Amino acid sequence: MTIDVSPAVAAAVAAGDPVVALESTLLCHGIPRPLNRELAAGIEDGVRSAGAVPATVAVMAGRIKVGLTTAELDHLLDAPEVTKCSTRDLPRIAASGGLGATTVAATAFVAARAGIRIMATGGLGGVHQGGERSLDVSADLEELARTPVTVVCSGVKSILDQARTLERLETLGVPVVGYRCDELPGFYTVETGLRVPRIEQLDDLCRLHEAHGALGLRGMVVVQPPPAQHAMARVKVERLVEEARMAARARRIRGAAFTPFMLQHMAERSQGATVRVNCALAVSNAGLAGALAAALAGHERS
Ligand code: PSU
Ligand code: MN
């Protein structure tokens, strides 16, 4: 099954210009409409202002697409039903002519095949609470173990077991490094109490990415905290997560529907505070991913 790369993205990849892949699940299942449209534009602008080309990934009319036109983005973000696609779902949704939004796992998979090495998201998927028994662990982790893509994010989503997610990434050989922070951020929160190695300069991040690739290692995770003016207090987030978890249990929500349900529940109960921090960090991560891609392209030329 072939992948449709937009002319702008294909030209940039061929020329060695900086490109950043962007996921679409966060837009279709993480942020309410019509705010998702504004966020999509904000994320793409964040990549562009850092000097890179944005390449949003989605499945449309049976084609796996890398780089969407404005009309395609509008169609995706207005559609009443969009399937959340992890890597395993890509062929099924594509072959059935469906419309799908890609998770971090599926986006990384597609990006690597299109020659893109950097992507941005809000928060990585990971080990769900109780995942040591349920085995509900996001495919994002295994995908990064086999796919050479560096993901810029604000840690793993607040609803997850962050400590076990970090352990799992270690087992899988996926490094997690903090850009100007020495703690794993907690997505909505700046802190989690979990240490990560700190990198201070973009140039050092570039060198790390190159050394990692030169050894034939695969995925890597770069984290930075959510912007300070929108970040939430840890106790507040813990309470919201607990309330949402109880609601999900009462409604027997499991599997792929769990993450979208939790995010929506917390958005309502926080009067939109979680949505504001989610948007702010997604744009900020797009900017850092763009800057990293631009710096890497510069390195390769010199
Ligand atoms: N980050 C967000 N909102 C989201 C997600 C991440 O700010 O909706 C999505 C990502 O696409 C991630 C997915 O890959 O949640 C993980 O879902 P699951 O736990 O079902 O693998
Ligand atoms: Mn899951």
pLDDT classification of 169: cutoffs 50, 70, 90? very high
Per-chain mean pLDDT for the chain: 96
Does the 3-229+279-301 domain belong in CATH 3.40.1790.10? yes
Q: Which atom of ligand 1 is nearest to the CA of 153?
A: 1
Provide the 10 A C-beta neighbour count for residue 294. 21
191 in active site: no
Q: Is the CB of 158 under 6 A from ligand 1?
A: no
Tell me the CA–centroid distance for residue 258 and ligand 2, in Å.
Answer: 7
Distance separating alpha carbons of residues 51 and 297, to the nearest angstrom: 10
Tell me the CA–centroid distance for residue 142 and ligand 2, in Å.
Answer: 12
Q: What percent of the chain has pLDDT over 70?
A: 100
Q: Which residues, other chains included, contact 46 with Cβ-Cβ below 8 Å and sequence gap of 6+? A: 120, 283, 284, 285, 286, 287, 290
Q: Is the CB of 100 under 6 A from ligand 1?
A: no
23 in active site: yes
Q: Where are the domains of the chain?
A: 3-229+279-301
Q: Is the CB of 29 under 6 A from ligand 1?
A: yes
Task: Indicate which ligand has the atom closest to the C-alpha of 123.
Answer: 1
The model's pLDDT over 70-82, given as tens digits with 9 standing for 90+, comes to: 999 999 999 999 9
Rounded to two decimals, what is the model's pTM?
0.96
Give yes or no for residue 1 having a pLDDT over 80: no
- For position 256, what pLDDT does the model report? 86
**Contact yes or no for 22/120 (Cβ under 8 A):** yes
Give yes or no for residue 297 having a pLDDT over 90: yes
Using CA atoms, how far residue 42 sits from 22, 26, 36, 240, in Å, is 12, 13, 10, 26
Q: Which of 84, 143, 157, 183 is catalytic?
A: 157
pLDDT classification of 87: cutoffs 50, 70, 90? very high
Provide the 10 A C-beta neighbour count for residue 226. 26
**Contact yes or no for 227/181 (Cβ under 8 A):** no
Q: Is the CB of 161 under 6 A from ligand 1?
A: no
Q: Taking Cα atoms as reference points, which of 172, 185, 183, 182 lies closest to residue 138?
A: 172
Q: Which atom of ligand 1 is nearest to the CA of 157?
A: 1
Question: Ligand 1 test: best mutation among 121, 136, 237, most atoms within 8 Å of CB?
Answer: 121
Q: Which of 23, 44, 143, 183 is catalytic?
A: 23
Give yes or no for residue 26 having a pLDDT over 70: yes
Tell me the CA–centroid distance for residue 210 and ligand 2, in Å.
Answer: 31
Tell me the CA–centroid distance for residue 186 and ligand 2, in Å.
Answer: 19
What contacts 24+ positions apart, CB below 8 Å, involve 250-258?
Answer: 254/136, 255/136, 256/84, 256/86, 258/128, 258/136
Q: What percent of the chain has pLDDT over 90?
A: 95
* Mean pLDDT value across residues 93-103: 96
Task: Indicate which ligand has the atom closest to the C-alpha of 157.
Answer: 1
> Taking every pair of C-alpha atoms in the chain, what is the biggest distance, in angstroms?
58
